Amino acid sequence: MDNINKKEFKNTFIKCIEEKGLRHTKQREVIVDAFFSAGRHITSEELFNIVKKKYPEIGYATVQRNLNLLCKCCLAEEIKIGKQKTRYEQKYGNMHHDHLVCLKCGRLIEVNDDKIEKLQEKLAKKNNFTPIKHKLEIYGICADCKSK
Amino acid sequence: MDNINKKEFKNTFIKCIEEKGLRHTKQREVIVDAFFSAGRHITSEELFNIVKKKYPEIGYATVQRNLNLLCKCCLAEEIKIGKQKTRYEQKYGNMHHDHLVCLKCGRLIEVNDDKIEKLQEKLAKKNNFTPIKHKLEIYGICADCKSK
DNA sequence: AATGATAATGATTTTTATTATCATTTAGTA
DNA sequence: TACTAAATGATAATAAAAATCATTATCATT
């Protein structure tokens, strides 16, 4: 099942780079594979270290560049929390979610609330503002850290 | 009226540094004054340029340090939007608000919605997460930019 | 299959914001 | 007034991400 998703993910990427007139390379293959298989919120450095194992000649810049490219293809999104390094989150299609951020362990928990989404639309409209996207982060202490 | 707020603001600052056993300096005086009187979302660089006019010998580091100090006193808060420089926002007491961020002109509009706040509490609770603070940013196009 | 245009790569440098360092000055008290 | 430690100002360090650039690889065309 994960393989099906992976296939879809890669196909979307391929379609996207073809639309842009970009090229298919071995490095891109390896990077996109690794990005899909990695955790949900990875830094460029972490991804670089993973990719290096499969493709030792790869350069850091290539990983960084292709993460940026994934963002342009809407397959990844930057998340910046406090002073942490930018993390890159996988995005399948239009699925959106917000984050609970634990201030103790740094864990990111993905959440969703339709009512909040709708109220945000309303709030924007009230200000004659056309919303395109949004970011909601709730900072606090996660269940695990509370029980410790 | 603004002067009363300013007085309160400065008193809070003075109280805060005294609690921490820190000292009162001319530079702090000038920086806090300028910060209060400046726009709602200022960068350290902008503030430095303002302060320099009243106090030309001042160093950038001093402005930066005191902005950080204001944050520790809960009189300022960092706002980081995209790749922009960190901006510092005035905070009076506990007043909280969210932001509409215009993707065209970069303008920040402060908004508030009690219902959203309450739903956030609920959402956190549902995940056994103790919320401390949150950040909601809605990105889109502001009224001014739409009419252009 | 060879060619040529140009995108991509990898190594490195640059940029840029913020923090740290440190000698000197200053504040606040004893 | 002197002393102690905080604050300052100039500068260096840090660190993440972007830019540069010579070289290599891709891919449409022939």
What domains sit in chain B, N to C, each tagged with a CATH number?
2-90 (1.10.10.10), 98-147 (3.30.1490.190)
Question: The tokens of B22 are what?
Answer: 């820190």
What pLDDT, on the 0 to 100 scale, is given for residue A84? 86
Instruction: Compute CA distances B43 → A63, A69, B47, whole Å.
Output: 31, 30, 6
**Mean pLDDT of the region A94-99:** 82
Weakest mean pLDDT among A95-99, A108-112, B116-120: A95-99
Give all strands (DSSP E) within chain A, no chain letters.
41-43, 76-79, 87-90, 98-102, 108-111, 130-141
Q: Residue B46: pLDDT above 90?
A: yes
Q: Cα dihedral angle (B64, B66, B71, B75), rounded to 10 degrees?
A: -130
**Mean pLDDT of the region B66-72:** 95
Q: Which of residues 54-83 of A touch B (CB under 8 A)?
A: 80
What pLDDT, on the 0 to 100 scale, is given for residue A83? 83
Side chain identity, residue B14 = I
Q: List pLDDT tens digits, range A71-87.
A: 999 999 999 888 889 99
What pLDDT, on the 0 to 100 scale, is given for residue B81? 86
Spatial distance between the Cα atoms of A106 and A79, rounded to a whole number of angstroms: 13
Q: Residue A1: pLDDT above 70?
A: no
**Mean pLDDT of the region A38-56:** 92
Q: How does strand B87-90 pair with strand B108-111? A: unpaired
What pLDDT, on the 0 to 100 scale, is given for residue A93? 62
Percent of chain A with pLDDT over 70: 97
Q: List pLDDT tens digits, range B81-134.
A: 888 889 999 987 667 889 999 988 888 899 999 999 999 999 999 999 999 999
**Mean pLDDT of the region A58-64:** 95
Side chain identity, residue A17 = I
Nucleotides of D under 7 A from a protein CB: 6-11, 15-20, 25-27
Q: Looking at the complex, does the CB of residue A111 fall below 8 Å from at least one CB of chain B? A: yes
Task: Measure CA to C1' and name the residue nearest D11.
Answer: B61
Q: Residue B52: pLDDT above 90?
A: yes
Q: Do B119 and A116 touch (CB under 8 A)?
A: yes
What pLDDT, on the 0 to 100 scale, is given for residue A52? 94
B80 Cβ within 7 A of any nucleic strand D atom: no
What pLDDT, on the 0 to 100 scale, is given for residue A89? 92
What pLDDT, on the 0 to 100 scale, is given for residue B93? 64
